[in-house]
Chains A and B, each alone.
Chain A
Amino acid sequence: MLELSGIESGYGETQVLHGLSLEAQQGRVLAILGRNGAGKSTTLKTIMGLLPLKSGKIVFEGKPIARQPYDVAKSGIAYVPETRDIFPSLTVRENLEIAAKRFGGAAPEWTMERVLDLFPRLGERMDNGGTQLSGGEQQMLAIARGLLMNPRLLILDEPTEGLAPIIVKLIHDKLQDLKAAGLPMIIVEQNFGFATSLADDVVVVGKGQAVWTGSAEEIRADEAAQHTWLGV
């Protein structure tokens, strides 16, 4: 449903992605793995239109993707960034509402009630400031906010970074529920176990290119590939 071919992109003069290609399939979860600085976050930012596409093509649901974040969001992609980017001047409720009221049409699949069912913890914090939350709660809020956009593709950048094992487990279970409900996802992760237990497909990024592509089972079994590309 999302296809990147020959992507070149970066920050100003610094090129980070050198002809990266990958594909996320309808109804499946794709994990993007790779070492620090490989270009995983840069790939996601380029998809979202946060970084300019110097060359290559990105096609979403058969059409070239828009190049402004606002249009990318409207086309049905929700993004949970590495830094979570909760709005500090907004309460938890407002953080959710500004995403909710714009999408989903008359009978949205994701409503405020439903995301609060998924993350009851947020319900107790509705009137707190966005940054008065723990790291785990901020991550839940960032995911809930993305879901309220009723996306057809959810993109997550290192959802477990800096979280306690018990919260990592909780996030894992929730994402597993979303996967079971058929929501396509792209997950960038450092946590190999977390990523490969959720994902159907895996692409490993190294030095701005896709260096290994296959299924999650394959990479779990392929210790040579793990060693070469991930240093596991």
Chain B
Amino acid sequence: MAHDLGFWTLQALNALQLSMLLFLLSIGLTVIFGLMHFVNLAHGSLYALGAYFAASLAAIGGYWMGFFLAPVAVAGVGILLYSGLIRRMRKSGPMAQVLVTFGLIFVMLDLTRIFWGDLALAIDVPTLFAGRVELLGIEYPAYRLFIIGLGLAIFAALAFVLGRTQIGAMIRAGVDNDAMASCLGINVERLFFIVFCVGCALAGLAGVVAAPLLSVTPDMGLQILIPTLIVIVIGGLGSLKGAIAGSLIYGFVQTFGAVLAPQLASVLIYALLAAVLVIKPVGLFPAKG
């Protein structure tokens, strides 16, 4: 392995960028699961939807219009999903939830096909972040740095809200013990709705920022679902710490695995997942100890 330091820096930044994308996706899913034991497999579809909304909005008003409005639009879809389907399924048990939200993936897949067609869409990197930046002795795409910065900023914001505010304490209480939280007069159902909408918006945001890096295709939601689930299983359900730790582990194992052991890269993360499940079945940092 005769790679220089710059090569490894590049890989580390790539790993970090992938991690941040996964973090945006997994945080909503894991807190929704922790708070209400609700399994939403269609979370990845919201990511794809974010990318499509961004592509359409970017065509009208440029990248930033998509950046700010697409997550809101995805949250709007989340509200529809919640009131039409999820609220009715709250007490129907994990099996029914998995089946219905799995079915939803294919409904969303076909809806995106109907509205946007089967061809991959492309969206340009915003001019603000179009170039490359000198960093740690290498040149790195500014847009990827933007994703890293955005992920870290959202992590910091969520850490503040969850750790330091009244509503954050209420969410943690709900994750710990939703029945007791209700007995203290906390409207856990409304809390769940808020968390669900924020989770949808973040999934949409992940789709928006990923769109210029990948081509926007109907099945992108399905492709990201497995990595997201691996992240939350490794990290442990329901916690911010678990989501960030799981995302970093996935991002680095995936990226460095592909460089160091290309033949093994695709199984490496599953081996790690299996190891975590054997050693600590609840994941590294579950919300419930």
- Seen from chain A, the residues whose Cβ lies within 8 Å of a Cβ on chain B are 48, 50, 68-70, 72-74, 79, 81, 85, 87-90, 94-95, 97-99, 101-103, 145, 149
CB–CB B176/A99 < 8 A:
no
Complex CA distance for A216 and B255, rounded to whole angstroms: 72
Partner of A98, one of B173, B179, B189, B288: B173
CB–CB A73/B172 < 8 A:
no
CB–CB A98/B184 < 8 A:
yes
Q: How far is the CB of B175 from chain A (nearest CB, A)?
A: 7
Q: How far is the CB of B35 from chain A (nearest CB, A)?
A: 12
Inter-chain contacts of A69 with B (CB < 8 A): 179, 182-183
CB–CB A73/B176 < 8 A:
no
Inter-chain contacts of A95 with B (CB < 8 A): 173
Given contacts A88-B289, A90-B169, A145 and B184 within 8 Å (CB-CB): yes
- Seen from chain B, the residues whose Cβ lies within 8 Å of a Cβ on chain A are 166, 169-170, 172-173, 175-177, 179-189, 287-289
Given contacts A85-B180, A97-B166, A102 and B172 within 8 Å (CB-CB): no
Complex CA distance for A99 and B176, rounded to whole angstroms: 15
Inter-chain contacts of A94 with B (CB < 8 A): 169, 172-173
CB–CB A98/B170 < 8 A:
yes
Complex CA distance for A72 and B177, rounded to whole angstroms: 17
Q: How far is the CB of B178 from chain A (nearest CB, A)?
A: 9
Q: How far is the CB of A102 from chain B (nearest CB, A)?
A: 5
Inter-chain contacts of A70 with B (CB < 8 A): 182-183, 185-189
Residue of B nearest to A74 (CB): B185
Question: A68-B182, A70-B189, A149-B184 known; 12 other A-B pairs, CB under 8 Å?
Answer: A69-B183, A70-B187, A73-B185, A87-B177, A88-B289, A89-B176, A98-B166, A98-B173, A98-B181, A98-B184, A101-B166, A102-B186
Inter-chain contacts of B166 with A (CB < 8 A): 97-98, 101
CB–CB A87/B176 < 8 A:
yes
Q: How far is the CB of A16 from chain B (nearest CB, A)?
A: 17
Complex CA distance for A48 and B185, rounded to whole angstroms: 11
Looking at B166, B169, B188, the one whose CB has the most chain A CB atoms below 10 A away is B169
Inter-chain contacts of B180 with A (CB < 8 A): 81, 85, 87
CB–CB A90/B173 < 8 A:
yes
CB–CB B169/A97 < 8 A:
yes
Complex CA distance for A132 and B187, rounded to whole angstroms: 27
CB–CB A73/B287 < 8 A:
no
Can you list 13 residue pairs at the A/B interface with Cβ under 8 Å?
Answer: A69-B183, A70-B187, A79-B183, A87-B173, A87-B180, A88-B289, A89-B175, A94-B169, A94-B172, A94-B173, A97-B166, A99-B184, A149-B185
CB–CB A87/B172 < 8 A:
yes
Q: How far is the CB of A36 from chain B (nearest CB, A)?
A: 22
Q: How far is the CB of B193 from chain A (nearest CB, A)?
A: 13
Inter-chain contacts of A68 with B (CB < 8 A): 182
